[in-house]
Amino acid sequence: MAISKLSQLGAQMIKSLEKGAPGLLLLTSRPRAVYTHHFRNCSLQPLKHEHFSTMAANKAEEDGNEEEQKISVTFVDKDGEEKHIKVPIGLSMLEAALENDIELEGACEGSLACSTCHVIVKDMEYYNKLEDPNDEENDMLDLAFGLTETSRLGCQVIAKPELDGIRLKLPTGT
């Protein structure tokens, strides 16, 4: 009953606003024409699904079809077993690991508040292709178990084409 009354009141207010009722103009600081013009010409756009990421995934368009670019990444676990996966450009290695059931924790969910997503870049060539770690990442890396000179946080290593073929080792402990 109350919802029905509320709907009727709302409909009456809109009709009054369109007719230019002076009492309703007191409710706003904008003239009635601005609102009615806006709502008459308003169109809703459909939402587009994107990966949940700190950085939006880049997409390549070919012949009108959107095709996601991916790079090859190899994770080496503490037992030496390798898992090869394809990672979309723009996705962090932490997110890629979680999507592919690789044991990389990421307790802070990529907010640079822990070191549980510590990975070791196996090849110096690939390590040099990464952006230098910022101060916050360096502070967290100082807390990481098994730190090496090619250690990085998985949440800060973002897939890009020049990293195709990168190999990341998971430390023996966290």
Residue 152 makes CB contacts below 8 A (sequence gap 6+) with 118, 119, 120, 121, 127, 130, 133, 137, 141
Contact 57, 92 (CB under 8 A): no
Is 144 in contact with 171 (CB distance < 8 Å)? yes
Render pLDDT for 112-157 as a digit per residue (tens, 0 to 9): 999 999 999 999 999 999 999 999 999 999 999 999 999 999 999 9
pLDDT > 90 in the chain, percent: 59
Global model pTM greater than 0.85 = no
Residues 83 and 134: their CA atoms lie apart, in Å, by 28
- Cα separation, 77 vs 92, in Å, equals 18
Residue type for position 13: M
Partners of residue 74 on adjacent β-strands: 84, 167
- Tens of pLDDT, residue by residue over 49-67, are 444 444 444 444 443 334 5
